[in-house]
Amino acid sequence: MLNVIFDLDGTLVDSVADLQVAVARALEEEGEPPLELATIRAFIGNGAPRLIERVMQHRFGRVDPQRHQDLLRRFMHHYETAPTARTELYPFVAECLRELAFKGHQLALCTNKPSAISRRILEELGIAAHFSAIVGGDTLPVKKPDPAPLRAAAAALGKRSTLYVGDSEIDGETAERAGLPFLLFTEGYRKKPLSEIPHLHSFDDFQRLPGMVAVWTDEQRQAPLPV
């Protein structure tokens, strides 16, 4: 059996609508109009502080540190009020996780979103029970693409062969730096073409993922034992 570690936003869940609403409410408090959904989608990646940096650069043309902290605080307040009001699992995610867990694979989450709200999202969307470990953006002093969070998630699951599943160039870089094989979900928030993201295989439908994991499991079983 394998360890299978997942990213969250853009991989398991489509969260852009709730992020857009939280950004819009924070901007409204400054007398600013909201940003388009497509604009927020393009800004996702590297965690909430980076999202707000991109929002400020886009709207104000600069990032003032004090204003950034204030806007980030208000954004998080609005987001934490209702993080799953518009957020949905991608199709067949729940079924995929249930099948992987049933077959004995250990599952973990590695995300740049804070761990508490990540757990809340998993719970409210009914998939938290499948995860044995959660490493969030506040678990360690560093975030992805630093490989430390992914390595920590793998260590929490124990010594097994490990796959990482994500949707973006950030996830691809993280997996490469951690020395782990990467499966790329193509329907998330990536900004680069597939050819520029290092990955073992790609998929566009979570119905395919259990079969891909099974093939990798069989390959690992057939690999020669180390001398």
Residue the block writes with tokens 């590695």: 110
- Which helix (H) or strand (E) element contains residue 29? none
| CATH classification at residue 77 | 1.10.150.240
pLDDT at 224: 43
**Whether residues 71 and 96 fall in one domain:** no
| pTM, full prediction | 0.93
**Whether residues 55 and 134 fall in one domain:** no
**Whether residues 28 and 138 fall in one domain:** no
**Whether residues 93 and 195 fall in one domain:** yes
Last residue of a domain, one of 66, 81, 96: 81
pLDDT at 159: 84
b/e code 167-183 from CB counts within 10 Å (16+ = b): bbbbbbbbbbebebbbb
**Whether residues 110 and 217 fall in one domain:** yes
pLDDT band at 222; cut points 50, 70, 90? low
pLDDT band at 225; cut points 50, 70, 90? very low
Last residue of a domain, one of 36, 59, 81: 81
| CATH classification at residue 102 | 3.40.50.1000
**Whether residues 106 and 71 fall in one domain:** no
Q: Angle formed by the axes of helices 65-81 and 16-28, to 10°?
A: 130
Q: Please say whether the beta carbons of 199 and 182 come within 8 A.
A: yes
**Whether residues 63 and 137 fall in one domain:** no
Count helices and strands in the chain by DSSP H and E runs: 9, 8
Q: How many domains does the chain have?
A: 2
Question: Is residue 22 classed as helix, strand or coil in its secondary structure?
Answer: helix
Q: Mean pLDDT across the chain, nearest whole number?
A: 94
| Enzyme catalytic residues | 7
Question: Average pLDDT in the 166-174 region?
Answer: 97
Question: What percent of the chain clears pLDDT 90, i.e. is strictly above it?
Answer: 91
**Whether residues 99 and 77 fall in one domain:** no
Structure tokens at 124: 């409210």
pLDDT at 226: 36
> pLDDT per residue over 14-66, tens digit each?
999 999 999 999 999 999 999 999 999 999 988 899 999 999 999 999 999 99
Last residue of a domain, one of 33, 66, 81: 81
